[in-house]
Amino acid sequence: MKQMEFQEFYEDGRDACLRAVLAGVGDRQLAEDLVAEAFTRAYAAWPSVRRHPSPAAWVVRTALNTRVSWWRRRRREVPFDAGEAAPAPSPADGGGLDPALLALLRGLPQRQREVIAYRVFLDLDTRATAAAMGVSPGTVTAHLSRAVATLRGHLLLTDPEAGR
């Protein structure tokens, strides 16, 4: 029973969670890894996750927290061959997102990207977003307002139809 219920949740929510995490981190491969890890953790804790007000938000929050944990661990690592330059990152597959929009999202501060991920890609309301992020609803509203203003400004500047 647990497995079938979780499988349905996974199939219904994986793409939305992936898009939300992709908007938050800006790298397709990293987003896929984080979402896979978060769903693995969700499966292990499914009895409590399924009672969460928004299990998809739980998965996204877990994925974003995992990214921070990975980053902290990696920054302490010493590369084996420091003489070689790291390969340049390749353009990430947008997973259905417009590459120009994904590039703009990457330019936003982390908290603004997270708010966009929850509010736009997971369609959570302000209170659910605040609960998922561990901040107040006013903070969510402020970050969303700033993010939308920044995105709107960039999109209006680059849209040739905007001047008509």
Q: Which residue has the higher pLDDT, 80 or 70?
A: 70
pLDDT at 51 (0 to 100): 93
- Structural domain harbouring 99: 2-76+95-158
Phi-psi region of 149 (alpha: psi -120 to 50; beta: other; left: phi over 0): alpha
Tell me if 16 is assigned to some domain: yes
- The stretch 113-136 carries a mean pLDDT of 88
CA distance 44 to 34: 15
CATH number at residue 133: 1.10.10.10
Q: Which DSSP state fits 101?
A: H
Tell me if 153 is assigned to some domain: yes
Per-residue model confidence as pLDDT tens digits over 20-74: 999 888 888 999 999 999 999 999 999 999 999 999 999 999 998 888 766 655 5
Q: How many domains does the chain have?
A: 1
Tell me if 84 is assigned to some domain: no
Tell me if 164 is assigned to some domain: no
Q: Give the residue among 57, 59, 44 at the shortest CA–CA distance from 2.
A: 44
Per-residue model confidence as pLDDT tens digits over 108-121: 998 998 898 888 88
Q: Has residue 86 got a pLDDT over 60?
A: no
CA distance 66 to 48: 19
Tell me if 61 is assigned to some domain: yes
Tell me if 113 is assigned to some domain: yes
Tell me if 87 is assigned to some domain: no
pLDDT at 104 (0 to 100): 85
Tell me if 34 is assigned to some domain: yes
Q: Half-sphere exposure of 34 toward its Cβ, with a 13 Å CA cutoff?
A: 30
pLDDT at 76 (0 to 100): 52
